[in-house]
Amino acid sequence: MKVGFYGHVRQYHSLKAELDAVIGEVLESGEYVMGPTLARFERELAAYFGMKNAIGVNSGTDALWLAFLALGVGPGDEVITTANTFFATAEAIWITGAKAVFVEIEPATCNIDPNRIEAAITPRTKAIVPVHLYGQMADMRSVSGIAKRHGLFVVEDGAQAIGARGDGFAAGELSDAVCTSFIVQKNLGTFGDGGAVITNREDIVPRIRALRNHGSLKRSYHSMGYNSRLDDLHAGVLGVKLKKIDEWNDRRREIAAMYTDGLKETGLALPFGKPGYRHVYHLYVIETPRRDAMLEFLNDSGVDAKVHYPIPIHRQEGFPWGKPADLDVRLPLTEKSAASVISLPMFPEMTRDEVDHVVDTCRAWAAR
């Protein structure tokens, strides 16, 4: 049996009539950019988050970048985040001209360790960016408390955690903004790229809306801005899928429970769900010191497992281009995790037979 990593085509088939209809409606309307379908989706997305505003943009990277710009992050500033995430988290900081400052992770969750943040704060620190990695929210109560004591902004990278909740708090509730991605792999994904900034801060909304549209809030009137708009075709697709996101996340949690039950006596390190948190399992990530050998075994056995993320950002070629981001940074927990993680197939359309095959293959490896 072959088990793929993604279920994009199956998901399309499950909603084909609705998706084809909304795409047809947008095409027939003739309004493809900054039209009514985008406006409707932004209202629905803000309501889903329980927040006042959602601004659709071109990507999750742009969502972070434009949020930083709207908050005044720029050259000479420092922004604290983690290095065990997709490169775009730090990239969005760098392209504002600010410096990304990496701190260690909690070993159990792989999210930012609040106990390490204050030691990294300097007079140049402007913001903290917790990443809700793999679908589980960071400890936002602690992060928010630190930010308030030091007068810092908080921008959540929620690209992997749409629908996740903390213990008594929701995404965006304890921050200046939460940013997300709608690339096709995400729990809520379109047929390509997309992103959004969701915020209760009314003061930054006009700035982000202008920045995404060549500095314009009114036709033919411009200041400096960019071209970073979520088009109406993608907004229509996302509006259909948004109605299913909680159901899909529940299914991801069911699959995760099956994985955990089947693998609990294998010696593999399994994901840790914090009590009181709603983990939505964008990824189901296990750890083993023999990662590369196990990954090869899984792939050879028809299981399309992958690695997220084998090279932490502080060991990538960073900014300025052509040299490592920060050779002086030592993050042993981050580096240990990066060397041992494997992401097992995880998508709502997986069958029980496919889940069982993944479990049986992992158990076969462990038995060796």
Last residue of a domain, one of 187, 211, 242: 242
pLDDT for 317: 79
> Same domain for 194 and 304?
no
> Same domain for 268 and 166?
no
Global pTM exceeds 0.85: yes
> Same domain for 233 and 314?
no
pLDDT for 324: 60
Q: If you search the block for the tokens 């994901």, which residue do you land on?
A: 271
Count of domains for the chain: 2
> Same domain for 61 and 27?
yes
Tokens standing for residue 28: 């027939």
> Same domain for 164 and 226?
yes
- Per DSSP, helices labelled H in the chain are 8-14, 16-29, 36-49, 60-70, 88-94, 140-150, 205-211, 232-242, 245-263, 291-300, 332-338, 352-367
- Residue 157 domain-assigned (yes or no): yes
> Same domain for 189 and 218?
yes
- Residue 346 domain-assigned (yes or no): yes
- Residue 3 domain-assigned (yes or no): no
Three-point CA angle 284, 172, 136, nearest 5°: 15
pLDDT for 323: 60
> Same domain for 222 and 166?
yes
pLDDT for 368: 87
pLDDT tens track for 265-283 = 999 999 999 999 999 999 9
Instruction: Cis check for the bond before 345: say yes or no (omega within 30 of 0).
Output: no
Q: Domain with 324 in it: what CATH number?
A: 3.90.1150.10
> Same domain for 82 and 97?
yes
CA dist list (Å): 147 to 93, 96, 167, 326, 357: 17, 20, 19, 24, 45
Last residue of a domain, one of 193, 220, 242: 242
Where is 357: in which H helix or E strand? helix 352-367
pLDDT tens track for 321-349 = 556 656 678 899 999 999 999 999 999 99
Q: Domain with 33 in it: what CATH number?
A: 3.40.640.10
Range of the domain at 329: 245-367
> Same domain for 84 and 98?
yes
Q: Please state at what angle helix 245-263 crosses helix 352-367, rounded to 10 degrees.
A: 30
> Same domain for 221 and 276?
no
- Which segments in the chain show pLDDT lower than 50? none
pLDDT for 328: 72
